Amino acid sequence: MYSNYPDAFPGESETEYENRKMEESQAAMGLMFGIASLLFFVLKMCAIFGIYFYAGFILSQNLLGEETRQSRILGLALLFTYLIFCIIYFFKGTVIGLRAKNNKLWILPWALCVLICCIIPAIVVKAVVSSMFDYGQQQGAFYIGLTWGAFILCSLYMYGIYQFKTHSAPRILYWSYALGLRVSL
């Protein structure tokens, strides 16, 4: 037993050893899936909030100036990020209200929401994927397929998150959504 399995415990039978190794293997796989899901969650949050936070940061830095304390710039960036999301959910409420009235103008705020929330983040993801390649490698079919695949997947994923044609909004942004709904009805 010990020559075949040098890490076996003293007095451990072969079936006990195999069961213990199976449990260790399953625990390691569970840990790996947990880490992978955490990384996916972080990537998802960066895709959803990153661009808007960056836009809020640039706005606050331009408004306050670069000499201002970073804590004030960060606070104003969070405020601007919240206001950007309020505008997005205002337009979402407008889309829902105009669709409820069978008004074809719902396509305009819907297209604006899709552009801001799906296409622009997908362009950023495409640029990040593109930057992973050297300049000489940016001509092949693999590069084009990978970058456009990332663009399409990111666009569809972001559209699935926001669901611009369904009646839903986060609790913290519901007032903005309800205002857009009230204005359009």
How much is the average pLDDT of 121-143? 83
Best CA proximity match to 84, nearest among 124, 65, 108, 112: 112
**pLDDT class for 1, splitting at 50, 70, 90?**
low
pLDDT digits (tens, 9 = 90+) for 64-112: 877 778 888 888 889 999 999 999 999 999 999 999 999 999 999 999 9
Residue 150 has pLDDT above 70, yes or no: yes
pTM, two decimal places: 0.73
Residue 3: predicted pLDDT: 59
| Spatial CA neighbour of 95 closest among 3, 15, 24, 183 | 183
- Tens-digit pLDDT profile for residues 30-45: 888 889 888 888 877 7
